[in-house]
Amino acid sequence: MMNFYSKIFLLLSGMSVAISPVCTAQHPDSILLKNYRPKSIYKIPVTKIEKARFPVIDVHSHSYAKSAADIERWIALMDKYGIEKTLILSYATGKKFDSVYQVYSRYKDRFDVWCGFDYSAINEPGGVEKAVKELERCFRMGAKGVGELGDKGFGEYYSYPVPSGMHVDDPRLKPLFQKCGELKMPVNIHVAEPMWMYEPMDATNDGLMNAYEWRIAQYQSKKNLIGHSALIQTLENVVRDNPRTTFIACHYANCEYDLSILGKLLDKYSNLYADISARYAETAPIPRYMFNFFEKYQDKLLYGTDMGFDSEMYEMTFRILQTGDEHFYYHSITGYHWPLHGFGLSDAVLRKVYKTNALKIVKQ
């Protein structure tokens, strides 16, 4: 029987011969973690997701569409998967907000646009009043809420220009949050990042691939940098001090590592909700815990995506929420190496998370 090298010799000599494919094993020592793309070997039931089980309001998305054709394609996907409306969190003011609103307001029955806060003169005399007037202007134009406000620890960074070190509980923002309450404009707030980003960047960090990219240590030079627990406290402060304003802590308030932290806040404050956007991969490893969390806080959780718009993304979110599927991967979306598992939520919970809870706070 010819070995591999004999076949190569014959080929070089001009003779035709069939060569069996050679499987080259990869040694674990040579595989980079960022290139690790496991495939499930288990022969277990796989649910094909064609549509959300119930109508959906996506409370957390952004201005991803770059053209009218993009928006039409987005709406077609929304129709396909049962998404009635998507909230566009522009975090913009002034001309930038106007341009975003002009695009999406042509489809008012399918998109709502939210604005940001105007920080351009926040440190100047009359700057807060100017910001309040701009908020009122955006509201009159059609803004339905405010967001996404964001603080990774060194202060507000989504709205522009960004005042260094101004956290969401800064006294300068109090009149703005009060005005949101008067206008019944909900506020979406992003505080902190997942706990992996705060842990040592070493072999013990099971979210190292994504954690390294978003690691908080890279911001150590920023002034007034505060940590995860301090950021959660700023969220609580602003929710507590503005009881007439409705707040949405997006991404589970980045407390997926210990959701009892978020749970205590949801228990304590009737004006606080949480969206589940962009934290599907971070919670899918603990499906039984998540099932119980959704059962307990079914009246306070809101469906959101925050991951663009395409079929695979929507299918992943619905598969995790609706099914009991186990040990599956979505590497192209999540970047994590670990397997995901479905929560298998009840119909009663799904109805609330998908739409009913959003209707409590979103003007139709």
CA dist 322 and 351 (Å) reads: 11
**pLDDT at residue 16, rounded to an integer:** 44
**pLDDT at residue 3, rounded to an integer:** 45
Rg, C-alpha atoms of the chain: 24
**pLDDT at residue 72, rounded to an integer:** 96
Query: 127-141 vs 174-183: helix axis angle to the nearest 10?
Result: 20
**CB count in 10 Å sphere of residue 312:** 11
Query: What residues of the chain score a pLDDT lower than 70?
Result: 1-24, 159-164, 364
Tell the residue number behind the tokens 């998109």, with chain if given.
111
**pLDDT at residue 209, rounded to an integer:** 84
**pLDDT at residue 162, rounded to an integer:** 63
CA dist 252 and 263 (Å) reads: 9
Plot region of 203 (φ>0 → left; ψ -120 to 50 → alpha; else → beta): alpha
**pLDDT at residue 161, rounded to an integer:** 63
Distance (Å) of CA 276 to CA 78, 243, 307, 343: 18, 22, 12, 13
Strands of the sheet containing 272-275, edge to edge, are 146-151, 187-191, 247-249, 272-275, 301-302
Query: 259-268 vs 287-296: helix axis angle to the nearest 10?
Result: 0
User: Which domains occur in the chain, in start order?
Assistant: 54-361 (3.20.20.140)
Q: Is the peptide bond before 285 cis (omega within 30 degrees of 0)?
A: no
- 5-18 pLDDT, tens digit per residue, is 344 334 444 444 44
**pLDDT at residue 159, rounded to an integer:** 66
**pLDDT at residue 74, rounded to an integer:** 98
Task: Please state the φ and ψ torsions of residue 323, each to the nearest 5 degrees.
Answer: -110, 170
Tell the residue number behind the tokens 């603990």, with chain if given.
286
Tell the residue number behind the tokens 């955006």, with chain if given.
138
Burial class (CB in 10 A: 0-12, 13-18, 19+), 137: middle
The answer to whether residues 328 and 46 touch, using CB atoms and an 8 Å cutoff, is yes
- 108-117 pLDDT, tens digit per residue, is 999 999 999 9
